Structure 1
Amino acid sequence: MSATTDVSPDTDISSEVVLPAPVGPRGAAGHRAGFWIVAATFLVAMAFTTVPTPLWAIYQREDGFSTAMVTVAFAAYAVGVVVSLFLAGHLSDHFGRRRILIPALLIELASAAMFLTSTSLGVLIVARAVSGLAIGMITATATAYLTDLHTAARRTSTHTDDPRATIRSGSTRARAVHPGADLVATAANMGGFGVGSLASGLLAEYAPSPLRTPYLVFLVLLVLSVIAMTLVPETVRPTTLRPPYRPQRVSVPDEHRPAYFAAASAAFTTFAVLGLFTSVAPGFVSGTLHHPSRALAGFATFLVFAAAATTQTALRRLTLRSQLATGLVLLPTGLITLTTAVWLTSLPLFLAGGLLSGAGAGTLFKATVTRVLTLATPTRRGEALAGLFLTAYIGLTVPILALGLATHYVSSPTALLGFAATLIAICATVSRRLLR
């Protein structure tokens, strides 16, 4: 999982990307078409990551996986994302967007092939980790690519006199001028997570070979995406003198450590909630709530990410404090509703809890990113955001692993109660600091 924000976590905020002068058919039309090709590719790539979500219950039933093993496989994805973000997510600034995005898609194709050919736990864990490695590269690169292409198309269509339009990659200024790229990136990223689980659930429910067909469909879509990407104009001109390689640095603003750690803690809770719905929540639907429909399991996850994407877009004009307050209210409310639903075995209440949790997580995470940007100096924003994302991905792994382990010793409703209570306590603890 990787959430789209106004600024990529692993992009050097101060780096400059030179957009070459359009040549022949790759003028404004080429950049506009390329924008939508990258957006569609981004959506397909993100959607693939949630294809296993409604299938975990089938793996558990047919292969005897425990809930704890499901969470281990899920956590492998998060580990892959973190490694990739810090080692390779920023490389497109130096080597080019397309030169990073196409290999990342090929890595994701390898993951799809693993899922398609084996159902053993070891292979599933490796496949999830490989998928995470690809997504860490894709998220940062595709988000920056969309901004580059959108800016290039606008500048060319207005007949700028400057044949070498220069933008600041990942800068808040560039994105504020062109909000369309942000909206599309959010829809492709968060929306992709929802679309993947929904499509997988429907295919598993109504198509033959539920553990094969969803992966086969997305393997074909990924192949088509690779082919389509070869048609997109490059927006970064590699230089002969590249700076020495170094992983993405992490830093914490010295003057604002308490506020920074409060924002990071809030990000931790948002990713924990989103991780819940892409790992064990479908098992709650089929087991605790007694609704074994795979389509329903996929739909439940779709609702969460649809709510997250919608609220991120709909509430973007609110003040930062209002966004933080909204997220800090919606997220605990959703968790309380969700936990109550599991204890009462109420599917409608469970879906309502998912909507509220998704809306709260989407709003709160976007607001924490903005808060960190305001705390860090312009030259250290990329490093500060890297720390935020590192904390968020810890939230995507540790609480989910703990929840899976807890189900070995207590009932699923009791384990979920402890999970929700912990996250609500964190939100309550950091709320005063965040809302100052």
Structure 2
Amino acid sequence: MKGQKTHPPRTVSSAAMYGSAWLVTAVFILSNSPTPLYVYWQNRLGFSTGTLTLIFAFYIAGLLGTLFIAGQLSDRFGRRRVLIPGLVSALLACILFAGSGSVASLAIARLLTGIAVGVMVSAGMAAVGDFADNGRRRQAALLASVSMVLGAGLGPLLAGSVAQISSQPAHPVFIIGFIVLSSALWVALRLPYPTPPAKQIQRMPLRLPRIPRENRPHLTCGILAFGPSITATSFVLSLGPSLLSRLLHIQNPIIAGGIACAMFLTATGIQFALRHWNVRRIFFASAGATILAMVCLIAAVQYSVAWLLILAALFAGAGQGLGQLGGLTLIGLHVPDNRRAEASAVMNIGGYIPAGLLPVAAGFLIDSLGLASGATLFALVVIVAATAGGIFISGLLRKDSATPDTHSSAVTPENS
């Protein structure tokens, strides 16, 4: 049949699925490893909260710029040709982080990290699905999503633990990261990625990523859920340690890393716990968790209560995990194989634009209005976005009532 892909034997495809997932995990370990070290770098280099969020914005800029082309290149020329440069960018970022002595070096390292993450959330996650037959599409979507949030949680836990026992934590943290990423590069060079048909390898003018018209409701739902939720987790990653230090007078790096880790472990666990829910319920739960996260954040900064900040991080993780799972599930079930990486790129572009802009705005608001006022304004904006997203998702899924898995979780063998 035209467009149908040939799968390797099931045992080979299962190993390849998990191997591809390891690439995603390894890069996301790097992506959030700097989180517990921001206060260390702030004290050492003397930059403001606004500058801190700008450094984080370089990560978002690299990610978004990569998403515009990585999915298209991966779908047309094959996963390997895109994944290898992405892993090399991550290795270079490790080297820069380990020797960081200026704001500029941190910004460049974050830019390279964003490029690597952009490759993984488009080509890397699509590669996990490449080795799944029709009966394992939801399993592949879950594995891709969990591999991302698991790595995102392990990174800050590693960095916080090392920073607790070392006065110069950057060197050992990123040496470990370099070793982990080297193993991922070794795996990527050996995985049996499918080769695109010769007619698919053609000269490609650069263009905005796009998806088939019939899949636009699916991607819109994913963006509306994923955008507010990942904006909430981005705030915790970029400004969480500063909140702990300035508002709650907690400067322990392992606590900052542990909160970020717990946030993403919550995202991982809730995906497993609710994986049999239908997509509509998953999206609504994502919106509800994100709203609760922001309510807890407002209460934490207004009343200086540490446990409320921790609760905000956990709810934010749950919101991101569910929003991401719902979006990837719709992509895996409905988007054609040769457009899946591009579709994943579209969903992540829609999510990461607010995740980059709003925390930066919050950082400068905090500098000008104070910590409590700036964080509260940020939280109110996210609450409005999550509420509006839930309402629009309800309307889109009602119109798209023919969409499999929208109203029933009994779609694939894994759901029965």
Instruction: Indicate the TM-score class for this superposition, using the shorter chain for normalisation.
Output: 0.7 to 0.9
Look up the match of 1:136: 118
Q: CA deviation at 1:99?
A: 3.2
Worse overlay, 39-48 or 366-375: 366-375
Q: CA deviation at 1:60?
A: 0.9
- Unmatched 5+ stretches in structure 1: 1-13, 22-26, 152-173
* TM norm structure 1: 0.80
Look up the match of 1:410: 369
Q: CA deviation at 1:150?
A: 4.7
Q: Structure 1 residues 295, 128: closer, same or farther in 2, change over 3 A?
A: same
Equivalent-residue separation in structure 2 for 1:128 and 1:413 (angstroms): 27
Equivalent-residue separation in structure 1 for 2:179 and 2:152 (angstroms): 18
Q: CA deviation at 1:16?
A: 5.2
Residues 152-163 of structure 1: pairs in structure 2 closer than 5 A: none
Residues 339-354 of structure 1: pairs in structure 2 closer than 5 A: 339-354=298-313
Residue identity in the other structure for 1:426: A
Q: CA deviation at 1:180?
A: 3.2
* TM norm structure 2: 0.84
Look up the match of 2:81: 99
Provide, for residues 213-240 of structure 1, a one-character-per-residue CA deviation record: whole Å limited to 9, x for no partner.
1111101221232223333233325637
Look up the match of 2:407: none
Q: Structure 1 residues 17, 106: closer, same or farther in 2, change over 3 A?
A: farther
Look up the match of 1:4: none
Structure 2 SS opposite 1:234: coil
Look up the match of 1:113: 95
Look up the match of 2:381: 422
Provide, for residues 29-87 of structure 1, a one-character-per-residue CA deviation record: whole Å limited to 9, x for no partner.
55544443333232111110111111101111111011111111111111111111111
Structure 2 SS opposite 1:124: helix
Residue identity in the other structure for 2:144: A
Equivalent-residue separation in structure 2 for 1:57 and 1:100 (angstroms): 34
Q: CA deviation at 1:319?
A: 2.6
2:63 matches 1:67: no
Residues 75-90 of structure 1: pairs in structure 2 closer than 5 A: 75-90=57-72
Q: Structure 1 residues 370, 224: closer, same or farther in 2, change over 3 A?
A: closer
Equivalent-residue separation in structure 2 for 1:255 and 1:101 (angstroms): 28
Work out whether residues 145 and 328 of structure 2, in 8 Å CA contact, stay in contact via their aligned partners in 1: no
Equivalent-residue separation in structure 2 for 1:328 and 1:339 (angstroms): 17
2:156 matches 1:197: yes
Q: CA deviation at 1:307?
A: 1.5
Look up the match of 2:240: 281
Q: CA deviation at 1:362?
A: 2.2
Equivalent-residue separation in structure 2 for 1:366 and 1:413 (angstroms): 32
Look up the match of 1:171: none
Provide, for residues 374-403 of structure 1, a one-character-per-residue CA deviation record: whole Å limited to 9, x for no partner.
999999887666544322111111101100
Worse overlay, 409-418 or 356-365: 356-365
Residues 239-250 of structure 1: pairs in structure 2 closer than 5 A: 239=198, 242-247=201-206, 249-250=208-209
2:33 matches 1:51: yes
Residues 307-318 of structure 1: pairs in structure 2 closer than 5 A: 307-318=266-277
Look up the match of 1:213: 172
Aligned residues with identical type, % of pairs: 25
Work out whether residues 20 and 127 of structure 2, in 8 Å CA contact, stay in contact via their aligned partners in 1: yes
Look up the match of 1:360: 319
Work out whether residues 286 and 297 of structure 1, in 8 Å CA contact, stay in contact via their aligned partners in 2: no
Look up the match of 1:292: 251
Look up the match of 1:3: none
2:304 matches 1:304: no
Work out whether residues 141 and 332 of structure 2, in 8 Å CA contact, stay in contact via their aligned partners in 1: no
Work out whether residues 35 and 150 of structure 1, in 8 Å CA contact, stay in contact via their aligned partners in 2: yes
Equivalent-residue separation in structure 2 for 1:60 and 1:137 (angstroms): 29
Look up the match of 2:281: 322
Structure 1 SS opposite 2:368: coil
Equivalent-residue separation in structure 1 for 2:32 and 2:43 (angstroms): 19
Look up the match of 1:167: none
Look up the match of 1:396: 355
Work out whether residues 31 and 152 of structure 2, in 8 Å CA contact, stay in contact via their aligned partners in 1: yes
Point out the structure with the larger helix share.
2
Q: Structure 1 residues 262, 241: closer, same or farther in 2, change over 3 A?
A: closer
Work out whether residues 288 and 319 of structure 2, in 8 Å CA contact, stay in contact via their aligned partners in 1: yes
Worse overlay, 252-261 or 365-374: 252-261
Look up the match of 1:182: 141
Q: CA deviation at 1:248?
A: 5.7
Q: CA deviation at 1:326?
A: 1.8
Q: CA deviation at 1:405?
A: 0.7
Equivalent-residue separation in structure 1 for 2:184 and 2:326 (angstroms): 32
**CA RMSD, Structure 1 to Structure 2 (Å):** 3.2
- Unmatched 5+ stretches in structure 2: 396-416
Structure 2 SS opposite 1:277: helix
Q: CA deviation at 1:296?
A: 0.5
Look up the match of 1:165: none
Aligned with residue 270 of structure 1, among 225, 229, 248: 229
Worse overlay, 414-423 or 248-257: 248-257
Look up the match of 2:297: 338
Structure 2 SS opposite 1:409: helix
Structure 2 SS opposite 1:212: helix
Residue identity in the other structure for 2:189: T
Q: CA deviation at 1:282?
A: 1.5
Look up the match of 2:404: none
Aligned with residue 107 of structure 2, among 97, 113, 125: 125
Q: CA deviation at 1:262?
A: 7.3
Provide, for residues 330-355 of structure 1, a one-character-per-residue CA deviation record: whole Å limited to 9, x for no partner.
21112111221222222222111211
Worse overlay, 179-188 or 362-371: 362-371
Equivalent-residue separation in structure 2 for 1:275 and 1:229 (angstroms): 28
Residue identity in the other structure for 2:65: V
Equivalent-residue separation in structure 2 for 1:218 and 1:54 (angstroms): 15
Q: Structure 1 residues 198, 328: closer, same or farther in 2, change over 3 A?
A: same
Work out whether residues 266 and 426 of structure 1, in 8 Å CA contact, stay in contact via their aligned partners in 2: no
Equivalent-residue separation in structure 2 for 1:145 and 1:426 (angstroms): 31
2:191 matches 1:232: yes
Residue identity in the other structure for 2:239: V
